[in-house]
Structure 1
Amino acid sequence: MSDPSHPSDPLLPGDGTVPASGRRRRKRRGLPGCLAVLVALAIVAGGLYFAVTRGVAWVEDQFAEPDDFAGPGRGEVAFEVVEGDSSAAICRGLKADGVVASVQACIDAAAANPDSPGIQVGFYPLKKEMASEDAIDVLVDPANIITNAVTIPEGLNTDQVVEILAESTDFRAGAFERVLDQPDRIGLPEYAGGNPEGYLFPSTYSFGPNAKPLDMVQAMVTRWRQAADEAGLEDAAAELGYTPHELMTVASLVEAEGRGDDMPKVARVIYNRVENPDNGQTNGLLQIDAAVNYALGKEPIAVLSQDQIDSVADSPYNTYTQPGLPPGPIEAPGDAAIQAAANPAEGSWLYYVTVDLSTGETKFTDSYDEFLSFKSELQAYCANESDRC
Structure 2
Amino acid sequence: MELRFESNPDPGRWRHRRKEGKGRSVVAFVMVLLLFGVLGGGAWYGYDRFSGRFLAADFDGPGSGEVIVEVKKNDTASAIADTLYAQGVVKSARAFVNAANENPDSTDIQVGQYKLRKEMKASDAVSMLLDLKNKYVEGAVTIPEGWTKMQVFDAFAKASGLKYEDFEKAAADISKLGVSAEWLKRTDGKKVDKSNIEGFLYPATYEIPDKNPNATAILKQVIVKFNAEMTKLNFVETAKTKFNISPYEALVAASITQVEALLPEDMAPVSRVLYNRAYSGDFPCGCLQLDSTVNYWLRLNGKEGKSSEKLTIDELHGDDNPYRYNAPGMSIGPISNPGELALKGAIEAPKSPYFFFVTIDAKGTMAYGKTFDEHNANIQIACKNGIPIC
TM-score, normalising length from structure 2?
0.58
Deviation at 1:301, TM superposition (A): 3.7
| Number of residue pairs the alignment of both structures matches | 253
Aligned residue among 228, 252, 272 for 2:276: 272
Deviations 1:214-239 (A, max 9, x none): 22211211111122112211101211
Distance verdict in 2 for CA 1:311–1:255, change over 3 Å: closer
Counterpart in the other structure of 1:212? 214
Matches within 5 A, 1:27-42: none
Deviation at 1:185, TM superposition (A): 3.4
Distance verdict in 2 for CA 1:385–1:376, change over 3 Å: closer
Deviations 1:285-326 (A, max 9, x none): 2112111111222444442446256554322211x3222111
Counterpart in the other structure of 1:332? 337
Counterpart in the other structure of 1:353? 358
Letter in 2 for 1:346: K
Deviation at 1:263, TM superposition (A): 0.5
2:56 maps to 1:161 = no
User: In 2, distance between residues paired with 1:179 and 1:288?
Assistant: 31
Deviation at 1:378, TM superposition (A): 3.6
Deviations 1:20-67 (A, max 9, x none): xxxxxxxxxxxxxxxxxxxxxxxxxxxxxxxxxxxxxxxxxxxxxxxx
User: In 2, distance between residues paired with 1:317 and 1:236?
Assistant: 26
Counterpart in the other structure of 1:26? none
3-state SS of paired residue (1:252)? helix
Letter in 1 for 2:218: M
3-state SS of paired residue (2:207)? strand
Letter in 1 for 2:255: S
3-state SS of paired residue (1:353)? strand
Letter in 2 for 1:222: V
User: In 1, distance between residues paired with 2:233 and 2:9?
Assistant: 41
Deviations 1:167-221 (A, max 9, x none): 2332121222221124243212333442211111122223331342222211211
Counterpart in the other structure of 1:363? 367
3-state SS of paired residue (1:363)? strand
User: In 1, distance between residues paired with 2:342 and 2:273?
Assistant: 14
User: In 2, distance between residues paired with 1:326 and 1:360?
Assistant: 24
Deviation at 1:369, TM superposition (A): 1.0
Distance verdict in 2 for CA 1:373–1:202, change over 3 Å: same
Deviations 1:92-140 (A, max 9, x none): xxxxxxxxxxxxxxxxxx9x84326979xxxxxxxxxxxxxxxxxxxx9
Alpha carbons 2:12, 2:110 under 8 Å: kept: no
Counterpart in the other structure of 1:149? 140
Alpha carbons 1:289, 1:304 under 8 Å: kept: no
3-state SS of paired residue (1:273)? helix
Alpha carbons 1:146, 1:208 under 8 Å: kept: no
Distance verdict in 2 for CA 1:299–1:154, change over 3 Å: farther
Matches within 5 A, 1:233-382: 233-239=235-241, 240-259=243-262, 260-277=264-281, 279=282, 282-297=284-299, 298-305=303-310, 307-308=312-313, 310=315, 312-314=317-319, 315-318=321-324, 320-356=325-361, 358-379=362-383
3-state SS of paired residue (2:206)? strand
Distance verdict in 2 for CA 1:306–1:173, change over 3 Å: closer
TM-score, normalising length from structure 1?
0.58
Counterpart in the other structure of 1:62? none
Alpha carbons 2:271, 2:349 under 8 Å: kept: yes
Distance verdict in 2 for CA 1:313–1:379, change over 3 Å: farther
Letter in 1 for 2:329: G
User: In 1, distance between residues paired with 2:384 and 2:255?
Assistant: 28
Letter in 1 for 2:252: T
3-state SS of paired residue (1:153)? coil
User: In 2, distance between residues paired with 1:212 and 1:141?
Assistant: 29
Aligned identity (percent) is 27
Alpha carbons 1:180, 1:186 under 8 Å: kept: yes
Distance verdict in 2 for CA 1:222–1:287, change over 3 Å: same
Deviations 1:117-168 (A, max 9, x none): 979xxxxxxxxxxxxxxxxxxxx95429964121211112211211121223
- Please identify the structure whose Cα radius of gyration is greater: 1
Unaligned residue ranges in structure 2 (runs of 5+): 15-108, 114-135, 185-192
User: In 2, distance between residues paired with 1:117 and 1:165?
Assistant: 29
Distance verdict in 2 for CA 1:311–1:302, change over 3 Å: closer
Unaligned residue ranges in structure 1 (runs of 5+): 1-109, 120-139
Deviation at 1:264, TM superposition (A): 0.2
Counterpart in the other structure of 1:92? none
Counterpart in the other structure of 2:204? 203
User: In 2, distance between residues paired with 1:304 and 1:158?
Assistant: 26
Q: CA RMSD in A?
A: 3.0
3-state SS of paired residue (1:148)? coil
Alpha carbons 2:252, 2:335 under 8 Å: kept: yes
